[in-house]
Amino acid sequence: MTNREHSSTPRILIVDDNPSIHRDFELVLLDNLEPPGLEADERRMYGPAAQASFSKPACSLDHALSGLEGIEKVKQALAEDRPYQLAFVDIRLHGIDGVETIARVWRMDPRIQIVICTAYADYSWKDLARRLGRTDKLFLLKKPFDNIGVSLLASTLAEKWFLARQAALKLEQMELLVAQRTQKVLALQRLEPPEPHEHSVLPAFPDAPPAGKELPLLLLVEGDAEICRPIAQGLEADYRVIEAEDGEQGLRLAQETVPDIIILASSLPRLDGIGLCRRLKSDELASHIPVILLAARGLEDFQIKALEAGADDCLAKPISLPLLKARVDNLLRSRRKLHEHVSHELSLLPREVAANQLDAQFLRRTIFIIERHLSDFEFDIAALAQKLVVSRRQLFRKLKAVAGSTPNVFIRSLRLKRAAQLLGETSMTVTEITYAVGFSDLKHFRSVFQEHFGVLPGDYARKAPPEEYAKNEPGTTGPGAKE
């Protein structure tokens, strides 16, 4: 945990559909407001002589009048890398109730601590533990609540969050150190030298399995085994095929594996093909994946619904395997051409790279988080995945799909882009810039910079006209940097 993170004011979210409850929390928790009943509570709890001994915790409050609004605020806080330490959630909310709100919040940020506020026994503690399963971060507050109790609860849980975060970061550092030393030991045992970029900012873990070039991953969602099996067998030579029997299983597998392409039947148990397609195209992790819908009835009428749902192609049953394979190849070829374009245009904005708004949003969040940690040479794939609330595998496949780049290369490209900007626009030395953009070794920084831009950092803006590098990094003009 950084010093900034530990010293920052705790952020608390209040989720309640009653505006007067929000006012009550402000009176109890904010320093500049004095609740009329606080003085009496202090005398009752501590006695007349101890009235001045209690001070309210310094914190900032955010408010949500519904569960959905609270979920959005948590999502926004994560995108801005300013997570909440604590949320007070009313059990009875309009729309989705407090329990469903908490479940969705924890899917995005499992670290946040939740205090359930209730005046009624809607759920037993056993029911809550069974549904939510995180009793170490779940607490109960009965309404009407005690002012002093709320203040103490807020300060204690906020401090608990910071201490847990500090412990987690220490553990990550130890695991990284163990992995690095293990790699060196294995290299010595094989009598091989360490990898050439031993001090690279990038971690020793690979982005993907190293066993050669993988076949594209195809998800086939078809409830009829007699139709599913021949399609899978016909595609297995050119694709890694995974199968789902119903729409809900298909959605879960799409989110977990992030395949290269999805083929859906129109008629599926639990969630039909049109509904599943809509869910996929509105899901940030899966929105980029090309979808082919297989129509079980009149193709023309179905095509309209399929296109409205966001499908990329539509075919009628019975399926012609050569035609299906040609459509799959065509969609993947179009995606590869986009990747080639992106790889040569590093300055493209997210909206220019992404095929849809959700992909652009994902790229903006990714870039925002990386830029906030550019000077941290230990910031790696695992840290980025944690900030984005995805797995390493999901991050690799999503970033590879929407930007044509592995997470390692993407992080390094942003570091080098920032270095080039500093070289062109400031008088910082190369050594200062090396550490400012998150490289821990000057020699390695010079090497990768020259590999990327074709010139050493000190010569980037000093020895050649700026337009020579414009095709690689526009906007990097200005005085040269000093060695």
pLDDT confidence of 54, banded at 50, 70, 90? very low
CATH number for the domain harbouring residue 88: 3.40.50.2300
Q: Specify whether 234 is located in the same domain as 147.
A: no
**The whole model's pTM is what?**
0.49
Q: What is the DSSP letter of 51?
A: G
- Given a contact cutoff of 8 angstroms between Cβ atoms, the answer to whether 461 and 423 are in contact is yes
Per the domain annotation, does 194 fall within a domain?
A: no
Per-residue pLDDT tens for 320-338? 899 999 999 999 888 777 6
| Strand (E) or helix (H) holding 295 | strand 291-295
Please state, for a pLDDT cut of 70, what percent of the chain lies above it.
Answer: 74
Q: Is 172 exposed, middle or buried (0-12, 13-18, 19+ CB in 10 A)?
A: middle
Mean pLDDT across the stretch 135-156? Answer: 80
Residue 84 located in a structural domain: yes
In a domain, residue 463? The reply is yes
482 secondary structure, DSSP code: B
Q: How far is CA 427 from CA 231, 254, 422, in A?
A: 62, 48, 8
Q: How confident is the model at residue 71 (pLDDT cuts 50, 70, 90)?
A: very high
Tens digit of each residue's pLDDT (9 = 90 or more) over 160-200? 888 887 777 777 677 666 666 666 565 554 443 333 333 33
Residue range of the domain that includes 367 = 351-469
Separation of alpha carbons 307 and 454, rounded Å: 45
- The per-residue pLDDT of the chain, averaged, comes to 77
Cis peptide, bond prior to residue 83, ω within 30 of zero: no
175 inside domain: no
Asked if residue 205 belongs to a domain, the reply is no
Choosing from 117, 136, 162, the residue where a domain stops is 162
Q: Pick from 162, 190, 205: which residue ends a domain?
A: 162
Task: Determine the average pLDDT of the residues in 14-24.
Answer: 90
Q: Are residues 13 and 146 in the same domain?
A: yes
* Residues 298 and 393 grouped into a single domain: no
Least confident range from 38-47, 50-59, 103-112, 272-281: namely 50-59
Domain total of the chain: 3
Q: What angle do CA 128, 161, 138 make, to 5 degrees?
A: 10
Q: Verify that 97 and 228 share a domain, yes or no.
A: no
Query: Is 437 part of a structural domain of the chain?
Result: yes
- pLDDT tens digit sequence for 260-292: 999 999 888 888 889 999 999 888 888 889 999
46 and 99 fall within a common domain: yes
Instruction: Indicate if 111 and 254 belong to the same structural domain.
Output: no
Range from 151-155, 174-178, 385-389 that averages highest in pLDDT: 385-389
Confidence of residue 319 (pLDDT cuts 50, 70, 90): confident
